[in-house]
Amino acid sequence: MRYYLSQENFFTQKAKEEGYPARSVYKLQEIDRKFGIFQEGNAVLDLGGAPGSWLLYISKKVGPKGRVVGVDLEDFKIEMPANSVFLKKSVFDEQLRADIGVFNVVASDLAPGTTGLHEKDVADCLELTQRAFEIACQTLEAGGSFVCKIFQGADVDDFIKEVGKSFKTVKRYRPQAIRRGSREFYLIAKNFIHSGILTYSKCLL
């Protein structure tokens, strides 16, 4: 039991020591190391980014020439880096797309408030993930990447097939920092197949 508890608490303690507000940063870090998501100078959209761990990590990776736009209904609990901005908006706000610009990467850690009812939690998470995918298709440059959280369950396989129509490679991945027993995993989609229609020229930085 002591081993189990130490494994569960390891990433939480590490986040505190390294100045991140949540353990979720190590999920993204592992994904980035394995798949090479973020590059210096990238423009990145961080959906569902509160309390701010992902944005802190991404802002360091893209550097001063990059930019990061964080979107959430909850406030970020961090000092915003110079290359980043925060929009307190719902991802379902139709004005959002006009406010954010064009990106190299869209990263989504969107998740619903869980109820303990598996089918409902999966459906609610999938609704958010589908919205993140829609935003990615509307804002990504050709060759861009999309990373999103998913709960395994009904209709998820069909969604992944749909994502595969817009990206050259799509992979499932489960980082070590995910809690034991969770049905959570991440979808990593790379090399966006650009439709040739991007009209969002506004830049927040």
Residues whose CB falls within 8 Å of the CB of residue 45, separated by 6 or more in sequence, listed in order? 68, 69, 71, 100, 103, 105, 106, 107, 135, 136, 139
Distance CA 102, CA 197 (A): 11
Asked about 202 being catalytic, the answer comes back as no
Q: Can you tell me which residue has the tokens 């027993």? A: 181
Please, which residues bridge with residue 114 across strands?
none
pLDDT tens, the chain, 205 aa long: 344 445 557 877 887 777 788 888 999 999 999 999 999 999 999 999 999 999 999 999 999 999 999 999 999 999 999 999 999 999 999 888 888 989 999 999 998 876 777 788 888 889 999 999 999 999 999 999 999 999 988 899 999 999 999 999 999 999 988 888 788 999 999 999 976 544 333 444 4
Distance CA 137, CA 155 (A): 20
Task: Tell me which DSSP letter residue 185 carries.
Answer: E
- Catalytic one among 61, 77, 120, 149? 149
Distance CA 84, CA 78 (A): 11
The identity of residue 199, as a single letter, is T
How many angstroms separate the Cα of 47 from the Cα of each of 119, 133, 144, 151? 23, 11, 16, 17
